[in-house]
Structure 1
Amino acid sequence: MATSAELNILSLLTQSALSSACIKFYPKGCNYPPLEVSYSELLDISSKKAAWLRQQDSFREGSITLIHFKSHLDNIIWFWASIIAGNVPALSPPLVNTSEGRHAHFQHLWRILENPLVLTSESLIRDDFVENDALFVIPVESSAEFDLDCATDPAKNRSGISHFNTNYTVESNTRSQLKGIATLALTSGSSGHSKAVCLGHEQIFASLRGKLTAAPIPENGCLLNWIGLDHVASLVEMHLLAMFTCVTQVQIQAVEVLSNPLGFLHLLSENKVSMTFAPDFFLARLLGTLDQIPPGDHCLKDIDLSHLQFLTSGGELNNVDTGFRVIEHLRQLGVKPANLIIPGFGMTEICAGGIFNKNFPAIDKKIMREFGVLGEPVPGLKMRISPLERGNTRALEENKDLERKSGLINEVGQLEVQGPIVFSRYLNDQEATKQSFTSDGWFQTGDLAKIDTQGQLYLEGRLKELININSVKYLPYEIEDAIEAARIPGVEPSFIACFSHRNLESPTSPEMIYVVYQQQYDWDDIKARFNALHAIVRTVVLVTSSRPQVLPLPAGCLQKTSLGKLSRPKIRSALVEGKWQEHEHVNEKELAAYRNENLTVPSNKTEEKLVTLFQEALGVDVEMDVDMPILDTGISSVELMRLKRVVELSFNIEELPMIIILTNTTIRSLAEAIHKLQGSQNVGEYKPVVTLQPNGEGSKVPLWLFHPGVGEILIFLGLAQHFPDRPVYAFRPRGFNPGEKPFHNQEDLLEAYYRGLKEKQPKGPYAMAGYSYGSVLAFELSKRLEAEGETVQFLASFNLPPHIKQRMRTLDWTAGLIHIAHFCDIISQERADKLNSELRSGEISHRDQIATVLAESEPERTARLGLTPQSLFTWVNVALSLQKIGWTYDPSGMVSRMDIFYCQPLKDVASSREEYRNDKLNHWTDFARDVKYHEVGGEHYTMIGPEHLPKFQQTLKRVMAARGL
């Protein structure tokens, strides 16, 4: 192993040449034994190539050599030859497919690398450099003849190095700007504008030492690399690390691994590999392969993975369930470590991985996380979180500097790093270098993240990729993950990119969400195109309440990096530059033709008017199918309430009960209901069950939702639409519709709900969840079902302790009104406290109290919510009836299991989450044999609101899956 005194990476080659270790290069197809090249032979071959390189007329010692080959063997040989010859190598990344992109890339490299010498093959000159008119490129085929000459005439080898001279160091006669630089790594920038990251000798050695603290390589270990050598992880974390520890390394092309995950396992077994790299997308592919193999199948019998110690992972967040299941499979093949997979955070600027989670997936699974944390930095690296608003500010105010130096804890901000592992500059780009470092010398990674009290890093996304829609910020990967999770037919998994976009023809137009995906269907399959569009729009609306632009592209348009990632900046640039304009035009034409041929159009004036009202409510100008389920459009609760009000005004209906809209699920059926209502004003018999998810009938165990104390079920609308494959029902209390009398005791309420449940779902297993007050209703109904021998497989409480009597007794008509106003976001919590005193200061009638509250909100807000004095009066009366039922409630009995989802409590209930969890919610253990607690975002009234719903529904689904649903 190299010592710290030999801080030149050439010593890695010279010292590893003294060992018996080698590099195994697998040819394309893996049908032949690998070519084994010892480190001693590599030194000898590279020395001869260096001698040939120095004899070329175009060679300039101390300059930059750009190395462009497809095979690992060629890249490694010429990487070391360049160093031995006295130059600084830069490994060329894959080229873009377009002629314009390649031409711009070559021009850019000529500028930032100062006219480098390009080494490649004759075939690649013909294939890859057609658009080149800037770089000097020479083929290396003639070097083979020079090697033969060197064998007979050693005097021709003028590189000045012999593999017997282990103390050789390159003379420091390079240009001053390259002094101390071992190699240049080219980042994958948008539009081909890569930055050249200067990786220094000392930096690389510090990185190698740090990596070994996270993944110590056994003395007789072996590393396997399948990523292109242009990627810093494969160069430093695999190739150089193997030489640093003097162990054997295996090099194989990525296509061989990606196309044959099972063959990958055979390679690990045959070569007794200790460590390799496996990003999350490949782990998912490996899991899919292993899941399909029956236990004991002969295809696994010869695989022995007892030598495998580490699967490092990076490039994207690691799914905890995927990691756990992969490890379970691999343990059947001899793997010993339970923490085999090591997720990490890395960048080119810090020599790949520098922060690692060595306790994955056990700790993440224990706390029910969907994606693993990224862990702690290795020695040689420090990290901190800087406030976002000052993340790019170079001149900090003195009183704020201390906050930055100490870093934020448990708050999302910009991730910054510092230490000997961090690079010093971008070559020939002073402005980018200046903008990347803070005034106190910390590198700004551009990532959104947080660090918890235990020093663990959580990644949230890229700062520059935040999507800002109506002042609400969204992370692209959250929207992409939602589309992935929806498993939409016709959408190629992992080929989805989401970013913000503005119509260039209208500079004042607002930002919108743009989704690009690779299609699986034939280009002329118009129905599949339309169905995919509808499903994507519906999914994005659920996450963001904003309708996206969607563009399908055929295979080959969206290129991935060697780590399997799509570059959002490059995709967005291609869109802006008009490279997909033809696809956009075809897409619009095909969709318009489908709508004209297949949509059911209005057949009367009522339907025509409703279509217009829906288009206005949803903010779309495309035609709507009158037979499409209303809730299937992705309409939000606010939009639905607004629609209710505009329908009332348009059709001159004094009060349109929301139940009419919820139970008449299409425009056609709603038109018929409105026609009947105008004639009779008779709503019909009270029915306690409302179907919120119309597309899930009969596919999975239904989810039953119990309303909070305000009695409103529209709050579940957004949540229900995240379950397209599961029926979702909600119980609505009596009293909202004309002629209905509210419930006055719990027995009558539960009996009505029980009958409604049994009518829809006669047999279990059952899944139930109550929001706030609804938790005790779900608990009581679950007790009855279990007493009858039924199975309640899932019972959840959203932020409510079991003992509510004292809290309920503090609520009266005025308190109910204020709570509903706060619930509707008409007033703030602070204003609610003051208004509570004001409304009680004199003899103020209920009608006047309502007028006072409505005056607190802008007319536009109340109109959007469909709030009128009469509807609010009815609502408060229903809420009061439910609260009175709770005045005498005492929990008793026991259920089998319960999951408690908790967030920031109401101010007058507890002062903190911790107090609420430990002193209030903990009492559920007295009434359930198996209780689990799950912390979620938001406050009591916002936990399933638009801002927090995307993550809440993920947690809910994960917990339901853990309960077997």
Structure 2
Amino acid sequence: MAPIAIAPTTDTEFVSRNLKTSVVSPLEPNTLHDVIAQAVDRYPLHELGFITSSAHDSSIQTKTFSAFNQYVRNLARAMLEWGKPTGSVVVVYLTEHEDNMAAVWACLLAGYLPCLQPALSAQQAHKEGHVAHIKNLFGSATWLTSELGAEHISTISGLDVHLLSELKASAEKFTVAADWVAYEAKPDDEAILFLTSGSTGFSKVVVHTHRTILAACRAKGQSYGLTSESRVLNWVGFDHVAGSLEMHITPLLYGASQLHVHASAILADPLRLLRLIDEKSIDLAFAPNFLLSKLTRDLEKRTDLYGCFDLSSIKQINSGGEALVSKTAQAFAAMMKKFSKNSVSFLISPGFGMTETCAGCIYNPVDVLATEPAHEFLDLGRPVNGCEMRIVDPADGVTLRPNGENGELQVRGPMVFVRYYNNVEATSSSFVEGGWYRTGDVGIIENGVMRLSGRIKDTLIVHGVSYGIPELETYLQTIDGVTYSFLAAAPYRAPGQETESFIIFYSPTFDLDGADASAKLFATHRALRDISVKMITLPPQLIIPIPVNQMEKTTLGKLSRAHLISLFKQGQLAKHIVRAEELLSQARSVSFVAPSTETEKALAKIFAGIFNLADSEVSASDNFFEIGGTSIDAIRLKREGEEYFGLPDISAIQILKHPVLSSLANYINSLLSKGTQTEEYDPIVPLQLSGNKTPIFFVHPGIGEVLIFVNLAKYFHNERPFYAFRARGFDAGHPYFTSMDEMVTCYAAAVKKTQATGPYAIAGYSYGGVVAFEVAKRLEAMGDEVKFVGLVNIPPHIAPRMNEIDWTSGMLHLSSFLGLVSKHDADDLAPPLRPLTKREQLEFVWKMAPPERIVELQLTLEKLDKWVDLAGSLIDCGLDYNPSGSVSALDVFYAIPFAGTKIDWLNNQLKPWSGFSRGEVEYTDVPGEHHTLMDLEHVPQFQKTFRGRLEARGL
């Protein structure tokens, strides 16, 4: 029998048509086997809905509880064909909610022990180390994954890899009974393994039994008020304990209908969250602090849609992962009220939980608009039924702290994990007498309500992602100027910050009173910042140099982060901070050039306003992007400069070419004296020029512009120059390119003019990938060495796609790329717009575009029209493009495509690049969708991955 087909929902009600809607008695199930059996027996027609990462519309794939049950039991029966003994560990490495969910249930019913594996590191060395670590822990290496996942681990030997697609095919020959199991589980059997968070260090493996999971789920459901009529929306990854236990097994225990959405689908279109709440009458959802903040910022721009959604169904939104900022919660709640056309009243429930506690075990549901929060972060509340909490002295781990005093938070209860897999030492050190688990967090319990005030453990949480501090410290210790073993990085969140940051404390190798102390300190601090940004995407909040004779260590020879943070908060390190600022000011003054001309002084005032500096702090030698400017800041500089100097246009590209204040002033003076003039076309735009490593040349996407690379280029400061190619035709008097050969000839000559000899590193984003490939071929033909060719999300055969793009679809594609319309709207608008004139089409899109985005881009209808024509000229250059020849090596980076699945995109469209490389092609997964992977949200991870491949190629 074929597996149950997955069909999109129709207008039929998303929730169950089943008449049984009473509250489930949570006392009956003793194992997870019982949970799914009970759900099927009582609510066979209730549904599990899924929106995948590749879904670019609102279509939902669904399975009834009954159909899902049959599906996973057939999969479980097929698993037995592997011949693995009962209790074998199976590492589940999948990305989509449904696939993960099905794999976990199949493992359980087959008698295997599933271990959920989050996305592996893009750094090859860390990925291989992690997989070897997991293999060693389990004493085996059985992986269940997708074709894409198999590609990720293909370089690692000794793994027994099974594809989910093959398992599904095998399951088609089985039709087992609706209650079939291969093994009758017992309450204290190990059920699911979870990997602890941490993106740099190797994870511990948390063991949860049927008993611990069910205890947690019963208590959670009671806390949420779940019933079989509830409708739950989840967009946390299933590999996360909150996604699998809190938002799937818990509602399944109570018979609630569920909708699981891949996070990218919401992040790409925040309005989708509101549409789903409206259309599916969602009453419970989950969102961490940083996503609530992002949603609020994104949605507040859409004032045109206020009052357009029925959000009255939403009753509670849970939040975890990091502390929830009170103002963020209030702003989000207020925004929801504005968008709802009906009265809306819901609770935001921050919670505390860990992988070790089956996610949340302490909650504080509160109406943040009706009750003014007492603290900067929302209190975390009281424990669920069966859970206890206490605050103790962290020094001994047992002495209770009085009401209202902070200390180490400990919890205990039936939902706490039983052990770390194959790690007796870690298990033992995590508990104290009485079964209390040491969470590693610093908290306060006041009148029975808990809130956190810090961290003890070696992790830093940035936007919900945990980073290992020890590995960061290891790299920072290698910097010239740092005394080895006298450096500590400690998590710290300043008042008003949306997410956690950190402070670096260290002892310099040089005398802070020496003659050259200022120059050495400046270089050391710059290096500390650079490595921090490259490793964890965030610069330190503060760097404090402390003379080695004043840096105290414990009796074990370690620096105490908690002690250092305490000294900082008490002001006892103020003299060191002041001394550092004196030295850094001296270093800056050496290169400081006071603005002298009226134009320089005016620009200094604009710079100061953008970066919140005093006018006197801005030097004529300051580089706009090196002191923190982004692409949006550049647009603001352009707009304010035009207004102040009375100029009709200061080209954004000239700001990129003249980022130093004095140079920009000279350019503006030339405009003031001669008016707008046609300059000789130079395809290369230097986005940053510091660093001694091999420069990177990046070719523009199909829109021709390079502003999209500004945020990426910043990560290469003091490492390597970053140049971008800008298409010809933006400026008056410059004709469009008429052929691929003309463009490649121009760009190759510009590379040689900029960097006379190799080795070269060339990359291209989207359309620019094939141009980069051709430029690399041209350089090799000249006898030069090209060690790196990076192609970002573009197949070799682009002509079929180019021939499908008419003026209307090209205009909509550009408008989507620029953020004038959503990707969803761009797809839907093409047919109704085609009968209109070009002017009417442009005006239609213009009216849809967010006004603030038009201002940011400094667009006019005429500029947009010209931009569409320029993009069309690039399409014309690719109409007959047919790749040939080869280069020495290729790196292909792939993200979610415009249409279809990521796997099909990789295997059917991108893999043919292997025929155009003389060496092995590396295919590397990167986050985001095709048009968002360079956005601020995704570029921090992209730059780490991209840099890793440059280094792997020896650059």
Q: TM-score range by the shorter chain?
A: 0.5 to 0.7
Report the residue type matching 1:374 in the other structure: S
Distance (Å, rounded) in 1 between the aligned partners of 2:214 and 2:678: 57
**How far is the alpha carbon of 1:675 from its aligned partner?**
0.5
Does 2:627 correspond to 1:688? no
Report the alpha carbon displacement of residue 485 of structure 1 after superposing the two structures with TM: 7.0
Within-5 A mapping of 1:485-500:
489-491=480-482, 495-497=487-489, 499-500=491-492
Tell me by how many angstroms 1:546 deviates. 8.2
Cα shift readout 1:683-722 (whole Å, capped 9, x = no counterpart): 41001122223113xx332222111111121222232232
Please state whether the residue corresponding to 1:959 is helix, strand or coil. helix
| Equivalent pair of 1:767/1:792 in contact (CA under 8 Å) | yes
Q: Secondary structure at the match of 1:721?
A: helix
Q: 1:342·1:356 contact (CA, 8 Å) conserved in 2?
A: no
Output the CA distance in 1 between the equivalents of 2:132 and 2:210.
18
Distance 1:762 1:780, change over 3 A: same
Distance 1:821 1:619 in 2: 32
Q: Which of 774, 778, 802 is the aligned partner of 1:784? A: 778
Matching residue within 582, 585, 588 for 2:578: 585
Which is higher, the Rg of structure 1 or of structure 2?
1
Task: Report the 3-state secondary structure (helix = DSSP H, G, I; strand = E; otherwise coil) of the residue aligned with 2:355.
Answer: strand
1:20-46: per-residue Cα shift (whole Å, max 9, x none)? xxxxxxxxxxxxxxxxxxxxxxxxxxx
Q: CA 1:592–1:766 in structure 2 vs 1: closer, same or farther (change >3 Å)? A: closer
CA contact (8 A) 1:386 1:415 kept: no
Superposed CA deviations along residues 202-241 of structure 1, whole A, max 9, x for unmatched, are xxxxxxxxxxx99xxxxxxxxxxxxxxxxxxxxxxxxxxx
After superposition, residues 698-777 of structure 1 pair within 5 angstroms as 699-723=692-716, 724-777=718-771
Residues 458 and 469, structure 2, Cα contact 8 Å, conserved in 1:
no
Q: 1:591 to 1:559 in 2, by over 3 A?
A: same
**Which residue in 2 is equivalent to 1:887?**
879
Assess, with a 3 A threshold, how the Cα gap between structure 1 residues 655 and 547 changes in structure 2: closer, same or farther: farther
Task: Supply the distance in 2 between the matched residues of 1:357 and 1:619 (Cα, whole angstroms).
Answer: 56
| Distance 1:416-1:538 versus aligned 2 partners, 3 A rule | closer
Distance 1:594-1:751 versus aligned 2 partners, 3 A rule: closer
Greater relative CO, 1 or 2 (CA 8 Å, sep 6+) = 2
Q: How far does residue 476 in structure 1 lie from its aligned partner after superposition?
A: 5.7
- 1:926 is matched with 915
Pair 892,493 (structure 1): closer, same or farther in 2 beyond 3 Å: farther
SS of match in other structure, 1:941 = coil
Deviations 1:480-531 (A, max 9, x none): 949947976545577252534335xxxx687784533314243232333344
> 2:730·2:870 contact (CA, 8 Å) conserved in 1?
yes
Query: What secondary structure, in the 3-state scheme, does the structure 2 residue paired with 1:644 have?
Result: helix
1:366 alignment partner AA: T
Cα drift, residue 573 of structure 1:
3.6
Q: How far apart, CA to CA, are the structure 2 residues paired with 1:868 and 1:387?
A: 57
Equivalent residue, structure 1, for 2:945: 955
User: Are 2:530 and 2:539, in contact at CA under 8 Å, matched by a contact in 1?
Assistant: no
2:509 maps to 1:516: no
Q: Which amino acid in structure 1 is aligned with residue 913 of structure 2? A: W
Gaps of 5+ in 1: 1-212, 215-316, 325-337, 346-352, 449-460
1:659, CA displacement in angstroms?
Answer: 3.0
After superposing the two structures, state which structure 1 stretch, 763-772 or 594-603, moved more. 594-603
SS at match of 2:875: helix
Residues 209-288 of structure 1 aligned to structure 2 (within 5 Å):
none
Deviates more, 1:721-730 or 1:372-381: 372-381
Q: Structure 2 CA distance, aligned partners of 1:439 and 1:537? A: 44
Query: Structure 1 residues 318, 648: CA separation in 2 closer, same or farther (over 3 Å shift)?
Result: closer
> For this pair of structures, how many residues does the alignment match?
600
What whole-Å deviation, never above 9, does each CA across 1:363-394 have from its counterpart, x for those lacking one? Answer: 97937999575375689999999999x99995
Distance 1:734 1:583, change over 3 A: same
Give CA-to-partner distance per residue, 1:893-915, whole Å, 9 cap, x none.
233321111111113xx2x2111
- One-letter code aligned to 1:670: L
CA distance in 2 between partners of 1:923 and 1:740 (Å)? 36
The separation in 2 between residues aligned to 1:479 and 1:822, in whole angstroms, is 42
Counterpart selection for 2:226 from 379, 397, 412: 397
Is 1:942 matched up with 2:932?
A: yes
Q: Which amino acid aligns with 1:792?
A: V
Asked if structure 2 preserves the Cα contact closer than 8 Å seen for 1:318 and 1:343, the reply is: no
The question of 1:664 aligning with 2:658 is answered yes
Distance 2:792 2:932 in 1: 11
How far apart, in 2, do the equivalents of 1:653 and 1:818 lie? 31
Q: Normalising by structure 1, what TM-score?
A: 0.53
Q: Measure the CA separation in 2 of the matches of 1:790 and 1:394.
A: 67
1:608 to 601, 624, 638: 601
Are the structure 2 counterparts of residues 541 and 670 from structure 1 closer, same or farther at C-alpha, using a change threshold of 3 Å?
A: farther
> 1:572, 1:803 → 2: CA distance?
56
CA shift at 1:916, angstroms?
1.0
Residue 638 of structure 1 and its aligned partner are, at CA, apart by 2.1
Equivalent position amino acid for 1:775 in 2: G
Counterpart of 1:915? Answer: 904
After superposition, the Cα gap between the structure-2 partners of 1:964 and 1:581, relative to the gap in structure 1 and judged at 3 Å, is: closer
Written as runs of structure 1 = structure 2, the 5 A alignment for 1:368-383 is 371=200, 374=203
The answer to whether the Cα contact below 8 Å between 2:475 and 2:531 also exists between their aligned partners in 1 is no
Post-superposition offset of 1:560? 7.0
> In 2 relative to 1, CA 732–465 (structure 1 residues): closer, same or farther, beyond 3 Å?
same
Q: Does structure 1 residue 416 correspond to structure 2 residue 355?
A: yes
Pair 1:905-2:889 in alignment: no
Letter matched to residue 870 of structure 2: V
Shift of 1:955: 1.7
Encode CA deviations 1:616-663: one digit per residue, 9 max, x unaligned. 223444712211333322322222232222222222222222332222
Q: CA deviation at 1:844?
A: 4.9
Contact 2:477–2:484 (CA under 8 A) maintained in structure 1: no
Kept in 1: contact 2:122–2:924 (CA 8 A): no
Q: For the residues of structure 2 that align with 1:800 and 1:548, how far apart are their CA atoms?
A: 38
Query: 2:530 & 2:952 partners in 1: Cα distance?
Result: 27
Change (3 A) 1:627 1:959: same
Secondary structure at the counterpart of residue 632 of structure 1 = coil
Distance 1:924 1:825 in 2: 30
**Aligned residue for 1:964?**
954
1:344 and 1:427 mapped to 2: Cα distance? 33
Look up the match of 1:554. Answer: 547
Unpaired runs of 5+ in structure 2? 1-87, 90-119, 144-150, 158-197, 233-244, 253-259, 264-287, 289-320, 322-352, 359-386, 390-396, 419-436, 442-454
- Residue-by-residue CA offset, 1:144-200 (whole Å, 9 max, x unaligned): xxxxxxxxxxxxxxxxxxxxxxxxxxxxxxxxxxxxxxxxxxxxxxxxxxxxxxxxx
The percent identity for this pair of structures is 30
Instruction: Supply the AA of the counterpart residue of 2:544.
Output: L
3-state SS of 1:882 partner = helix
Q: Distance in 2 between matches of 1:564 and 1:784?
A: 58
Q: State the shift of 1:832 in Å.
A: 2.6
3-state SS of paired residue (1:647): helix
Counterparts of 1:748 and 1:734, CA distance in 2: 11
Structure 2 CA distance, aligned partners of 1:416 and 1:514?
23
Are the structure 2 counterparts of residues 764 and 686 from structure 1 closer, same or farther at C-alpha, using a change threshold of 3 Å? same
Amino acid at match of 1:712: E
Is the CA contact 1:701–1:727 (under 8 Å) kept in the aligned structure 2? yes
In 1, distance between residues paired with 2:599 and 2:215?
56
